[in-house]
Structure 1
């Protein structure tokens, strides 16, 4: 009589020496879970960059080679005609000059005033917190509302000339004369955003070790020497940050020009952003407006790269 044999389970292959092989690794590991969570967190920002930055930027380059007539409903490929028009435009050089004047004036006045206010407010005075709040409050005020109020103050019969008349000075028509229009726009923008750079400089000043300043004074250094030789080098990374932010912001100004001067008198305050918006949306030259936008993009990129390269010469890092 034959006894049925029982089927035994197959033994797992073993390594040399009799040790069983390790269990296969799982694909959905903790590392991959952490990476997936990170991608999910950055997905909204990444989607916004793609939809509102990269795609519009690509379309601008596409439109620069076309001429889009909205009224006639035509969209024609014109090649490099818009580039040729850019180099032959008689108004481009005055526009670039006005842009340079506005940017240089804004950067110089903004950074100088912000640094001065930060130095003054870094002292332990009674009520210093109130003054910090007062100087920072314009930053959170609506840009259009701020500009409209200043537009009333700078009129021929506005508040500024009223104050000057009290002391016997006849003020000019600030926004309608070529010599004062650009200066007025710069001052309005400086007072609007000086509080932001002031806070940045104030935070940097509070991080400067007081021991270094006291040691320098013990050695006979004056306050000016301490500031130039010790404080300013230590806060130079913050100065670089404020410089880049201010320059890029000065090249993108539009609302102030549109509300205060509309580019006038003449084109003395017509900066590049206002000019390209005017060409694209008032004159319906979207192809040429896109070409001007590319020019602005190249200018901002070149200035940012130049500042980033020059940082190695004058920005101090502890490491």
Structure 2
């Protein structure tokens, strides 16, 4: 009696003697299908991310004068100019102040609003809509309206005048200009982080609060011992998004203060724009963009590495 192999697919696994194995096997067809699915994303990343990064590095080694039509190789001269730039320190200081102010107030206010709107009372849907609506408003339109409100004779000072307070010229004082820009940006995007926090809060199991309450834990202890650890992944996400966004702010500065007074609100992105498109130093502008990319990359990696210390369930 002949012994037969009962394993499925054994007869198809090897080609018959004298026959070449077909090239388009099932495995290769599956691989091709996978590559076709990710091809649009790979193409977009290569054309709009990797290639521009390479070109920026290439441009930083040249002095490109569009008006004169010259494109001269200068090597590391732009990087030497970066080290000798007397304005760079003030620009980095303004960038840091704006980023810290935006991240602290945006995340703090968003979390506070999310905790309040997570309670069961009438009108929560209306308040959620009101706080989220600025997110979908045009950034330029939002900034122009706030520009009128913050003028010396604008709406903010008009309200203060009704209670006998003489308001400052918000956009012309070195301190008040930075505060104004931060506040405008916080109110514009706080709704987005609020919604993310609200979704995270609604995912925290109620049994944890019930058990903590039975053990005698108060509201504040429950918040720090249960709520914060459970929504820590969302805190990480929102912090990365907010930090990166704070380093890329441009329209608010361009519309409200144009970097003034002096360089008090000249953040790195706006300074890059000035060098490249106002002063036509495209090579130096490319060098500044590399500095910006390095700062964003370093802060993102730092936040990602720190997640193991304070993000729940990370090891």
TM-score band w.r.t. shorter chain: over 0.9
- In structure 2, the residue matched to 1:256 is 252
Distance in 1 between residues matched to 2:95 and 2:46, nearest whole Å:
29
Shift of 1:26: 4.4
Which residue of structure 2 aligns with residue 219 of structure 1? Answer: 215
How far did residue 39 of structure 1 move? 2.5
The yes-or-no answer on 1:43 pairing with 2:33 is no
Q: In 1, distance between residues paired with 2:22 and 2:248?
A: 52
Offset at 1:309?
A: 0.9
Corresponding residue for residue 164 of structure 2 = 168
- 1:179 maps to 175
Which TM-score applies when normalising by structure 2?
A: 0.92
Shift of 1:47: 1.6
- For residues 205-228 of structure 1, what are the alpha-carbon distances to aligned partners after superposition, in whole Å with 9 as ceiling and x for unaligned? 111111111111111111000000
Matched, 1:151 2:147: yes
Report whether the alignment pairs 1:306 with 2:302: yes
- Of 291, 297, 311, the residue aligned with 2:293 is 297
Q: Is 1:285 equivalent to 2:272 in the alignment?
A: no
Match of 2:106 among 110, 132, 137: 110
Indicate the residue corresponding to 1:101 in structure 2: 97
Q: Tell me, what secondary structure is at the counterpart of 1:265? A: coil
Equivalent residues, number:
304
Residue in structure 1 matched with residue 192 of structure 2 by the alignment: 196
- Equivalents in 2 of 1:91, 1:304: separation in Å? 26
Structure 1: 5+ residue runs without aligned partners?
A: 1-15
Question: Equivalences for 1:72-151 in 2 at 5 Å?
Answer: 72-151=68-147
Residue 54 (1) aligns with residue 33 (2) = no
For the pair shown, the structure with the greater C-alpha radius of gyration is 1
Partners in 1 of 2:259 and 2:35 — Cα distance?
45
Could you tell me how far apart the structure 2 residues matched to 1:47 and 1:139 are? 30
User: Separation in 2 of the partners of 1:45 and 1:136?
Assistant: 30
User: Contact 2:308/2:314 (CA < 8 Å) preserved in 1?
Assistant: no
Q: CA deviation at 1:38?
A: 3.1
Match of 1:246 in 2: 242
Specify whether residues 137 and 186 from structure 1 end up closer, same or farther in structure 2 by C-alpha distance, changes over 3 A only: same
Q: Which runs of 5+ in 2 are unaligned?
A: 6-10
Tell me the TM-score normalized by structure 1.
0.91
